């Protein structure tokens, strides 16, 4: 695999794992998740679709199916969480003295990785790649995928 294909694959897999890990406890304790959402100013019922989306969407993203669509939907979710929940706490994800005050640093990092997934595609080790019959698709234009040692210009 080329470097771009590695970046595409690793970014997709990492983001999928992150959303599975964050969605699982939400699904396993929906009453606490509903209460937490209400405490953050969201309607409590929104906890259910978000929990389902994070967990099952994370699994589907990890597998590389409907990759760009899921990445775009996760970006929307992260933008809402970032603006509504994290932005008031500043950039830094860790604040001394207040364990619940989490800045937007981590959310921004996920958004950047998800943009990479949208731009590069799912990578060759994905359901999307197999369904299209392509083993080298990175979503990039032909000729832009440079192998190590090749001149750039």
**pLDDT (tens digit, 9 = 90+) per residue, 31-46?**
999 999 999 999 999 9
pTM of the model: 0.83
Query: Could you tell me if 50 and 85 are in contact, meaning their C-beta atoms sit under 8 angstroms apart?
Result: no
Rounded Cα distance, 91 and 142, in Å: 38
* The three-state (H, E, C) secondary structure of the chain, written as one string: CCHHHHHHHHHHHHHHHHHHHHHHHHHHCHHHHHHHHHHCCCCHHHHHHHHHHHHHHHHHHHHCCCHHHHHHHHHHHHHHHHHHHHHHHCCCCCCCCCCCCCCCHHHHHHHHHHHHHHHHCCCCCCHHHHHCCCCCCCCCCCCCCCCCCCCCC
Rounded Cα distance, 6 and 20, in Å: 21
- At 10, the pLDDT band (50, 70, 90 cuts) reads very high
How high is the pLDDT of residue 97? 67
Beta-carbon contacts of 148 under 8 Å, excluding residues fewer than 6 positions away, are 3
| Max CA pair span of the chain | 57
Query: Could you tell me if 122 and 67 are in contact, meaning their C-beta atoms sit under 8 angstroms apart?
Result: yes
Residue of 34, 35, 63, 62 whose CA lies nearest to 49: 34
Rounded Cα distance, 93 and 86, in Å: 8
pLDDT tens string 69-99? 999 999 999 999 999 999 988 888 887 767 6
Residue 153 has pLDDT above 50, yes or no: no
């Amino acid at each position: 695999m080329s470097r771009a294909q590695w970046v595409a694959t690793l970014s997709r897999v990492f983001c999928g794992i992150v959303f599975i890990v964050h969605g699982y406890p939400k699904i396993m304790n929906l009453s606490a998740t509903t209460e937490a959402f209400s405490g953050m100013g969201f309607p409590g019922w929104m906890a259910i679709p978000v929990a389902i989306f994070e967990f099952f969407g994370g699994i589907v993203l990890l597998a590389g199916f409907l990759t760009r669509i899921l990445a775009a939907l996760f970006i929307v979710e992260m933008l809402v969480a970032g603006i509504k929940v994290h932005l008031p706490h500043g950039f830094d994800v860790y604040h001394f003295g207040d364990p619940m005050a989490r800045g937007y640093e981590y959310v921004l990092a996920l958004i950047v990785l998800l943009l990479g997934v949208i731009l590069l595609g799912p990578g060759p080790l994905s359901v999307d790649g197999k369904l299209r019959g392509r083993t080298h698709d990175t979503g990039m234009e032909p000729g832009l995928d440079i192998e190590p040692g090749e001149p750039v210009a």
